[in-house]
Amino acid sequence: MSASITYPKALVKGDLIAITAPSSGVSEHLHDLLKQAKCAVEEFGYSVVEGNTIWTQYKCVSASKELRALELQNFLLNKHVSAVIPPWGGEFLMEILPLMDWELLKATPPKWILGYSDISTFLFAYTLLTGCATAHGTNYIDLRSAGPGVISSRWVEVLGTGPNETVEQLSSDLYQSSWDFPKAGFKLDTPTAWKILGNEDDPAYEQLMAGRLIGGCLDTISILIGTPYAPLQAFSEQYCHETGMVWYLESCEMKAADLYRHLWQMKQCGWFENTNGVLIGRPAGYSPTQNFGLQDALHQVFDDRHIPVIYEVDIGHVPPQLTLVNGAFANVSSIAGRGSITMSYI
């Protein structure tokens, strides 16, 4: 019988949210973005405590790996903190993983950790190593843009869902085709259409999949292959033996050939065993490699395993994005370009 995922307590208005930068911090000329984000979180009804790391940035990181690890761990162990949200991602979060006290974290009641991009490196490792749920979704800086009606703002409901409860999210109507970063607010200008691999031309075809969610940013979680921080097979056997897994993956700065190489490596290492389906987010910074495209990469990796794939999903670097919980049991549906994901915290 599969073991149970441990979920943090539901986030409620008035709870304290800690802001720390375990990867990149924020350069001085962008500090106003932190102030805007703090106002946005307080308008949602939460209190905010800011760490020292968020205010500095040098050589791609906010501070030394020792300081980044210490501040994050202290917030995760602080009984007054209910959630941790980094300002954004970065490049080198993997440096802090060997410095965390994983046994202590596993023995400590979990709190929500929310983020994406390089933050998913920590989310992925934390869930695999501890069996505790984490949330892949909007970051702190983007909270200033996640107004009412934008699916990115559903983080409040997702983190406000407790053990044995269920939350549903629907695909967006529009997504943002390009960034005007300093300005708050997403510019949603392009119709969203989830696509079913191999059935793109059949609007009546419905794709269903179910299993425990696991995944993150392909650029960063794939570097954990072969390290002690990605015991995927052990996690699958312990927590997903009866349910199977649904992977979600998004990318930044990867061409079609890069995507194929990373997915191929994951497949060769057995990461797609016990997989019931795969969700692929809208890729950022993407281009085909000669005449080899995203669909080619997905067919090459998943066709022979008969694993269904839905792509162009609201996940990752092209906003808005869903908030997906690592470890939650998900029922996914897509038809005629529209999609829904229902997550049960069981």
Blockwise average pLDDT, block size 10, the chain, 346 residues? 93 98 97 96 96 98 98 98 98 98 97 98 98 97 84 96 98 91 82 98 97 98 97 97 97 96 98 98 96 98 98 97 98 98 98
- Give the integer Cα–Cα distance in Å for 314 and 312: 7
pLDDT for the residue numbered 184:
75
Rounded Cα gap, residues 220 and 201, in angstroms: 32
- pLDDT for position 181: 67
Q: Tell me, what's the pLDDT at 178?
A: 87
What are the Cα distances from residue 271, in Å, to 137, 211, 274? 22, 15, 8
User: What is the rounded CA–CA span in Å between residue 117 and residue 140?
Assistant: 12
Rounded Cα distance between 239 and 169, Å, is: 23
pLDDT score at 286: 96
150, HSE (Cβ side, Cα atoms, 13 Å): 21
